[in-house]
Amino acid sequence: MLSSCQASRFEEKVVPLWEKDLEKISPLMSMSAPQFPAALLCACTNCLQANYTCETDGACMVSIFNLDGMEHHVRTCIPKVELVPAGKPFYCLSSEDLRNTHCCYTDYCNRIDLRVPSGECTPLLD
C-alpha cells in the first residue's frame, strides 16, 4: 500500500502527463463532424397534410401528361435510392408526346410549369 506521501507523488506524475495529452487532443475534440446538407424540400401534389410539401434525400420531380384529354400535373419527391440508373434516372425521363418530366435538386425547384405534351404519337419515318 502507498503512503499518503507516495500517493501524492504518484498523482503529481500522472496528472501532468494526462493534462499534456489532453492539450494535444483537445483541438481534435473541438472539431465538428462533417455537416450534411438538410433534406431537399419539394412541392408535392399529394401531400395535403404536409402543406403540399415533401422532403427527400434525392430529387424533386415535376411531370405533366395528357390522359383522355385532361392535363395531369404531378409534383413529388423521389428518394435517392430510387434515382437509378445514376445520371439518368428512369423517374426523370420524359416520353415524347406523352409525358414531360423534369427532376431537379434545389428546394422547391419543381414548382415550374412544363409544356403540355400533345398526347399524340409521332409516326416513325422510314
Domain boundaries, the chain: 40-111
Q: What is the number of alpha carbons within 13 Å of residue 7 lying toward its C-beta?
A: 4
pLDDT band at residue 17 under the 50/70/90 scheme:
very low
- Of 93, 106, 95, nearest to 59 by C-alpha is 106
Mean pLDDT computed over every residue of the chain: 76
For residue 84, give the DSSP letter.
Answer: -
| pLDDT at 15 exceeding the cut of 90 | no
Domain 40-111 in CATH 2.10.60.10? The answer is yes
Average the pLDDT over 20-46 and give the result.
62
> Which residue shows C-alpha cell 409521332?
122
pTM of the predicted protein model: 0.63
pLDDT band at residue 31 under the 50/70/90 scheme:
very low
Please tell me which residue, 117 or 105, carries the higher pLDDT value: 105
Instruction: Give the chain's radius of gyration (CA, Å).
Output: 30
